[in-house]
């Protein structure tokens, strides 16, 4: 999950807009809300609130206007979130029965104004929005809430989001590539593959939710699985990666892959990997070693040659290349200036990259690798992507940050509780004003909201683990309220 924006998007004006179903669950747990806090996660750019609690009608209707009012993305998004929000509401709630309340709702209509009819989803798309719940003559609520946004993606949720799909690695090549049909022979099994249609469906599904998909084809390392279908890609049968730099076939095949999947992935950024490249196979395989000697190249030279050649291919197909930080550390002076440097090994890389004019993505593994189970939520929350970058023009070169989940240690049985709720801690760091999340006592200002948000995820069917775990994805250590675990 990759929010590429440091800029706060949302602005709220509301009167404690809470759903009765939320209050019902609070009552049954014995937990009492701190009325001095606003239970929103992540914090919006600006918000003002009154002192009344409003009930929202589960049959909430939609009214749209503006140039983008008829977009399918908007209407489907409304119906989708309506089902999620009112998932546990049916007829008269227990909350109403306990208090003898007749079903009279303050908010029965959501009015959405979208100023543009564009559905283009690229880096930097305007996703700002304003939510307004108005009072009428100081006594009653007007019966509706209004969201105004410049684009349909702002109207959806006002958060810029990217799925970085590391789709291929040394263990498995699961993606169908029509030009080179034997590549997916490297999948674990024939049942664990993505057809072109599968991948296209995932991208379309994401777009309907305002999510970019950035694919990664990691070269030249992490590519042993490629040779299951095309053994000539290996330097030798006993030394299988990195990909054979000495053969034109290697680069012809990479070009074919990029041409085929360009039809699937329209997002402007494309990840070419380039990390953890052990060049030992190149120097120990006779024909590759001879190729290096004939060109008076070292293994490091060949690594640079490979990365730059792959970058040229991606650029020729209309992509901006993203590479892991090893490429910057090894030959920054020769990288294509369009390169986006993806930090992961440790701190200090983004400050160095932006000082040289490169854009950067922050993913310091010490705090934002979610497969590191011993990293608690507060360390995730306190990690600052702009640390050490004081120049405003250089800060603008930091596209944002990414929390990474590698599936060597997770599958469908535990991936949700490994990711959540810690990923949400990074979300507020990235999406809220820097002043709002820095230099504060997060135990008082953030923890209560974070606990509440985790319980909200649980109610919506997301298997988010307890916030206070010593290790991620562990179950609760004992009985207690969801809002205190």
Catalytic-labelled residue, pool 46, 276, 402, 408: 276
Residue 281 CA to residue 8 CA, distance in Å, equals 47
CA distance 72 to 78: 10
CA distances 345 to 324, 356, 367, Å, are 9, 19, 11
How many Cβ atoms sit within 10 Å of the Cβ of residue 438?
A: 13
Whether 10 contacts 129, CB under 8 Å: yes
Using CA atoms, how far residue 103 sits from 27, 55, 98, 141, 298, in Å, is 19, 9, 13, 15, 76
Q: Which token pair is 254?
A: 């990479």
Strands across the sheet containing 161-166: 161-166, 211-216, 269-271, 320-324, 340-342, 359-362, 398-401
Write out the two tokens for 469.
Answer: 């775990």
Residues in the chain: 485
- CA 163, CA 329: separation in Å to the nearest integer? 25
Closest CA to 228 of 241, 215, 218, 245: 241
Verify whether residue 192 is a known catalytic residue.
no
DSSP 283: H
The tokens describing 453, both together, are: 């948000």
403-410, long-range: CB < 8 A, 24+ apart: 403/1, 403/363, 403/368, 403/369, 403/370, 404/164, 404/344, 404/363, 404/365, 404/368, 404/369, 404/370, 404/371, 405/370, 405/371, 406/166, 406/369, 406/371, 408/371, 409/371, 409/373, 410/371
Q: Which spans in 11-159 are helix H?
A: 20-29, 72-85, 94-99, 152-156
Shortest CA distance to 186 belongs to which of 251, 125, 240? 240
473: left (phi over 0), alpha (psi -120 to 50) or beta: left
Catalytic residues: 276
């Amino acid at each position: 999950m990759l929010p590429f924006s440091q800029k706060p998007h949302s602005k709220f004006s509301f009167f404690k807009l809470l759903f009765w179903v939320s209050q019902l669950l609070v009552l049954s747990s014995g937990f009492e809300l701190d009325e001095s806090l606003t239970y929103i996660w992540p914090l919006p750019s600006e918000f003002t609130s009154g002192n009344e609690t409003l009930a929202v009608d589960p049959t909430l209707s939609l009214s749209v206007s503006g140039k983008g009012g008829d977009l399918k993305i908007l209407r489907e998004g409304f119906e989708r979130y309506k089902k999620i929000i009112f998932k546990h509401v049916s007829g008269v709630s227990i909350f109403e029965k306990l208090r003898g309340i007749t079903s009279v709702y303050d908010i029965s209509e959501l009015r959405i104004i979208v100023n543009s009819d564009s559905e283009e989803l690229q880096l930097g798309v305007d996703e700002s929005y304003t939510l307004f719940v108005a009072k009428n003559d100081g006594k009653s609520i007007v019966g509706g809430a209004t969201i105004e946004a410049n684009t349909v993606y702002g109207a959806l949720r006002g958060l810029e989001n990217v799925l970085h799909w590391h789709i291929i690695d040394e263990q498995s090549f699961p993606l169908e590539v029509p030009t080179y049909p034997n590549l997916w022979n490297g999948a674990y099994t024939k049942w664990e593959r993505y057809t072109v249609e599968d991948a296209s469906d995932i991208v379309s599904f994401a777009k309907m939710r305002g999510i970019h998909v950035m694919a990664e084809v990691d070269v030249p390392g992490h590519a042993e699985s490629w040779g299951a279908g095309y053994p000539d890609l290996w330097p030798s049968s006993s030394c299988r990666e990195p990909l054979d730099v000495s053969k034109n076939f290697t680069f012809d095949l990479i070009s074919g892959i990029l041409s085929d999947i360009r039809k699937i992935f329209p997002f402007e950024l494309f990840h070419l990997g380039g990390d953890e490249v052990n060049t030992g196979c190149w120097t120990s395989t006779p024909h590759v070693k001879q190729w290096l000697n004939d060109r008076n190249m070292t293994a490091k030279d060949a690594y640079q040659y490979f990365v730059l050649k792959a970058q040229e291919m991606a650029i020729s197909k209309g992509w901006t290349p993203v590479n892991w930080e090893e490429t910057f550390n090894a030959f920054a002076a020769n990288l294509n200036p369009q390169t986006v440097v993806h930090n992961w090994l440790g701190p200090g890389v983004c400050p160095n990259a932006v000082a040289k004019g490169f854009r950067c993505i922050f993913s310091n593994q010490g705090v934002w690798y979610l497969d590191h189970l011993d990293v608690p939520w507060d360390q995730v929350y306190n990690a600052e992507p702009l640390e050490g970058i004081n120049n405003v023009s250089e800060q603008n070169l930091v596209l944002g940050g990414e929390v990474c989940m590698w599936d060597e240690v997770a599958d469908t049985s535990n991936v949700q509780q490994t990711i959540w709720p810690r990923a949400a801690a990074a979300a507020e760091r990235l999406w809220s004003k820097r002043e709002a999340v820095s230099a504060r006592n997060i135990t008082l200002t953030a923890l209560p909201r974070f606990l509440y948000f985790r319980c909200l995820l649980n109610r919506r069917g997301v298997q988010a683990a307890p916030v206070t775990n010593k290790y991620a994805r562990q179950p609760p250590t004992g009985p207690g309220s969801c809002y205190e675990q």
